[in-house]
Structures are given as C-alpha cells and as structure tokens.
C-alpha cells in the first residue's frame, strides 16, 4: 500500500470545496457519490479528482481518503475502514477519522443507528403540524 501523493496546488483546490463548521468538521460541498454502507445502508461520500504524482495521471478518490492520505499521510491497511467519529460521512477532516478494523466499524455503525438522535425529525414534524 502506498499513500496518494498530490501537489500543494491540488490541496488548495481541494479546500475550496470545504466548509469548516463550528464543530470543527470539514463539510464537503464538492462532487459526491453514494456507496460504502452494508445492508443497503448507502451513504454519501465526497469525491475528488487530482493529479496523482506517482503516475502523473488524473485519479478520482473519496474526498475523506484524499485528506487522510495526502494531508495526514495515514494509510488504511487491508481489512480496515476509515471511521468517522463525527458520524458525518461528508466530513473530510482527518482529525474526525479513525482507522479501525472492518468488524469494529460495522459494530459502531449498528450502535450509532440504535442510538440515533431523532430530535431533528421531532422538530420538523412539530413545525409541520403547527399550521
């Protein structure tokens, strides 16, 4: 496994698609693609093309992977996943991401689904029902 290598200019271009939220998350507002989740639970991930300095060719990868490998120089070994501790799949801040085994990632997904905050839905329905 070798880390992705990109130019500084591509890092600057990457950050043009990022909105830094008050919580510290880096919300990706560029291109997206759906995928990843098991049991049909597909989620949105950022997608970014850059010039891979290893080959000189354009390459498209998930945005959070680009940030993790190019900025933090951290690789994801086989059998592992990048887990978003912030639970925001469109967040690309490497500080929100942890490399864990696929088994642990799956366990956490199930646990988070079980304890999901539904206050947003409650509030939306309250507004809707108010008229």
What angle (nearest 5°) sits at the alpha carbon of residue 56, between those of residues 5 and 2? 35
At 48 the three-state DSSP class reads: strand
Judged by CB under 5 A, the residue of 51, 71, 86, 104 near Zn ion is: 86
Residue 97 touches Zn ion, criterion: CB under 5 A:
no
CB under 8 Å to 112, separation ≥6 — which residues? 87
Residue 25 touches Zn ion, criterion: CB under 5 A:
yes
Note the Cα 61 to chain centre separation in Å. 11
Sole window of 19-27, 29-37, 65-73, 109-117 interacting with Zn ion (rule: CB under 5 A): 19-27
Closer to Zn ion at the Cβ: 5 or 108? 108
CB of 66 to Zn ion, least distance (A): 15
């Amino acid at each position: 496994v070798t880390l992705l290598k990109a130019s500084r200019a591509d890092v600057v271009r990457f950050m043009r698609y990022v909105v830094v939220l008050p919580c510290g998350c880096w919300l990706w507002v560029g291109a997206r693609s759906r995928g990843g989740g098991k049991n049909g639970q597909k989620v949105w991930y950022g997608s970014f093309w850059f010039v891979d300095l290893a080959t000189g060719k354009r390459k498209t990868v998930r945005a959070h992977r680009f940030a993790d490998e190019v900025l933090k120089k951290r690789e994801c070994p086989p059998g592992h996943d990048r887990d978003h501790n912030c639970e925001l799949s469109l967040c690309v801040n490497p500080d929100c991401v942890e490399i864990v085994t696929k088994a642990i990632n799956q366990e956490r997904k199930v646990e988070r689904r079980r304890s999901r905050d539904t206050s947003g839905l409650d509030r939306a329905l309250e507004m809707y029902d108010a008229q």
